[in-house]
Amino acid sequence: MERPDITSINTVPELFWHNVENYRDDITMWRKQRGVWESHTWGDYGDWSRDIGHALIAQGLKSGDKISIISETRMEWVVLDMAIMGIGCITAPVYPSNTEEQVKYIVKHSESKVVFAEDQEQLDKMLVIWKDLPMVKKIVVIDKYYPRNLPNVISLDGYRDLGQLHRGENTGKFEERLKLVKPNDIISFTYTSGTTGNPKAGMFNSKNVITVAKNLPDMLPTYRTDLGISYLPLSHIAERLLGHFIKLYSGYVTVFADSLEDMPYNLRQSGPTIMFGTPRVFEKFYARISIAIKDASLFQKTIYNWALGVGKNYTELKDQGGKPNLWLKLNKILAHFLVYRKIKDMFGGNIRFLISGAAPISPNIIRYFHWIGLDIYEGYGLTETTGIVTGNKMGKAKIGSVGQALADTEIRIAEDGEICTRCPQNISGYYNNEEATNELLIPDEKGDIWLHTGDIGYLDEEGYLFITDRKKDIIITAGGKNVAPQNIENLLKTSPYISLAMVYGDKKPYLTALVTLDEDEIAKFARDKKIMYQDLADLSKKQEVLDLLHHEISGLNRDLASYETVKKFRILEEELDQDKDEVTPTLKVKRKVVIEHYQDLIKEMYA
């Protein structure tokens, strides 16, 4: 299938406009408007972006100026992104879940002059902090509802009207700005999760993105006939890469989910062929299946376990290079009809492959879906590597690893086990943070610059990368054992009743854990057991729930070495909260903050 000649296209805006000009009438996006799915062509996408670009020019935005977007994932997000980049400005995304103080930090740090706010909630945040942001000249509200008569606040529709007016009087002005964009120009910031302090702004140029767009489809090919679903935050590099940038090269169609919560329903409606998810997304699907099987009849459980056994035998034989006999093939067909297809229908029924990234996923989750014919390919990367360094290739996956290096990517393991990379997708540094940049990008004895990831891992003899843990998170027990907490936390989260887990035990005689409950699944457990409770905090103290979690964790401990097992745990009465700075917008646990907040519970487990 035709893809653009990357050798002649070297900027992201140019790649976008290649699609607009050559596939103007082809559908590229679907979104739901007033409950009805609505299609949009590349021509629609381009015209809208051009109009917004003209509005920004009319407002006096110069090349290199920064513009923030505070919005959930929706079609307007990517339209605005291409408008901003198209005139040589820099997108500075803000997580919509950020608090007012966090929004203020990012907008102020990025020196944004315009802020696109999704709705009343995001506008309210901006109005509270606007007095501290003198550089912000205008707020553009994406949703149609907004308070009237606020100075320098305008709706997106009104802003587009201004752009169309400017476009009519300044034909070709947008195209002039577009031609000035160069491959090494910064096109966007992406703010890191900020697990150890204020988030840092990674600076991306077109060369970084084009490198990934060119090389990633060699591992997991995507085509114009594919359909993807976009639902995770576009403020994060993973969704922006896989739900936005890669399609500029491969040309596939995108469905925008109504919301993260509605995504499972939208999956069944739209039937995508490819899907990206964080481990938590696949853990939730696995939990739903596990709970459904627990509630099934004895006959249904027997059929399910038989089908799972067939899938395991079939895939393991194929993975080892063997050929399944006729009997096994017939059994697999029957298992598909009775079990597999029902699980696949949860994902829309058309999935070719699934991609997991942004955090480590339990190999048990990957194996499970592999047995039923839904292949999850795990990849690895950071904000600072434009989202991707390694990936498992279709047909060459090694479960437990994060795959092999992309083309043009070098990986080496430092003496202390830290993973270092040298590749064109490495960012040039952090905006206005020379100290952090110097800690990230370090020259070797030859003067070559290597990016230090902060992750610990190793390469096997075939070049597959295995991640052990974050360098700063490694636990050394009182007995001198090195323990990787992430692996244990991922295992704990395979329980359908556990949403988040934090393992503790540095310089302690044994490991302990703080866990939060999956509200949906634990509420169902309470209904089935006829447990009366007031709220989640009350339910977390019930003896039946404590016994359930003890049973779940004891069972999972069997998969761990004795020094890795969790000896004691405490259930937190509520989810970890971003407003309390306990988790990042991507739900990474801020260990130091959580330890500080729950010192009493931790001390209790070692009393």
Secondary-structure breakdown of the chain: helix, strand, coil percentages, each rounded to the nearest 5: 45, 20, 35
CB neighbourhood size of 117 (10 A):
27
Binning pLDDT at 50, 70 and 90, where does residue 5 land? low
In degrees, rounded to 5, the angle at the alpha carbon of residue 501 between the alpha carbons of residues 500 and 507 is 160
| pLDDT category of residue 2 using cuts at 50, 70 and 90 | low
User: How far apart (Å, rounded) are the C-alpha atoms in residues 388 and 391?
Assistant: 8
pLDDT reading at 346 higher than 70: yes
Residue 450 backbone phi and psi in degrees, to 5: -115, 135
Query: How large a percentage of the chain has pLDDT more than 90?
Result: 76
Would you place residue 590 in the very low, low, confident or very high pLDDT band (cuts 50, 70, 90)? confident
pTM of the shown model: 0.87
Mean pLDDT of 314-321: 91
Q: Which CATH superfamily groups domain 12-181?
A: ANL, N-terminal domain (3.40.50.12780)
Q: What is the pLDDT of residue 468?
A: 85
What residue segments make up the domains of the chain, in order of their start? 12-181, 474-605
**CA nearest neighbour of 253 among 262, 244, 261:** 244
Which amino acid is located at 265 in the chain?
Y
Structure tokens at 48: 């809208």
DSSP states of 99-147: -HHHHHHHHHHHTEEEEEE-SHHHHHHHHHHGGG-TT--EEEESSS---
The answer to whether 489 touches 516, Cβ cutoff 8 Å, is no
Q: What pLDDT score does 514 carry?
A: 95
Q: Which residues contact 327 (CB under 8 A, 6 or more apart)?
A: none
For β-strands 227-230 and 253-256, DSSP reports them as parallel
559, pLDDT greater than 90: no
* Close Cβ partners of 548 (under 8 Å, ≥ 6 residues apart): 497, 525
149, pLDDT greater than 90 = no
Of the candidates 444, 442, 451, 398, which has an alpha carbon nearest to the alpha carbon of residue 421? Answer: 451
Residue owning tokens 């990674």: 202
Task: State the pLDDT confidence band at 481, using cuts at 50, 70 and 90.
Answer: confident
CA atoms 551, 552, 554, 555: torsion sign: positive
- Structural Rg of the chain based on CA atoms: 25
Beta-sheet pairing, 353-356 with 376-380: parallel
| 420, pLDDT greater than 60 | yes
In which band, very low, low, confident or very high, does the pLDDT at 4 lie, cut at 50, 70 and 90?
low
Half-sphere exposure of 31 (CA within 13 A, CB side): 18
In the numeric block, the tokens 């005689």 are attached to 509
Q: Which amino acid is at 607?
A: A
Helices (H) and strands (E) in the chain, counts: 23, 26
Point out the least confidently predicted range of 4-8, 30-34, 76-80, 547-551.
Answer: 4-8
Enter the tokens of residue 30. 């679907």
Residues 6+ apart with CB under 8 A from 409: 215, 389, 390, 421, 422, 423, 425
User: Which amino acid would we find at residue 56?
Assistant: L
Tokens of residue 126, six digits: 């901006």
- At 6, the pLDDT band (50, 70, 90 cuts) reads low
Distance CA 421, CA 388 (A): 11
278 sits in the region (left: phi over 0; alpha: psi -120 to 50; else beta) called beta
**Is the predicted pLDDT of residue 1 greater than 60, yes or no?**
no
pLDDT score of 195: 58
Calpha distance 301→293 (Å, rounded): 6
Count other C-beta atoms under 10 Å from residue 60's C-beta: 9
- The end-to-end CA distance of the chain, in Å, is 65
- The fold of 474-605 is GMP Synthetase; Chain A, domain 3 (3.30.300)
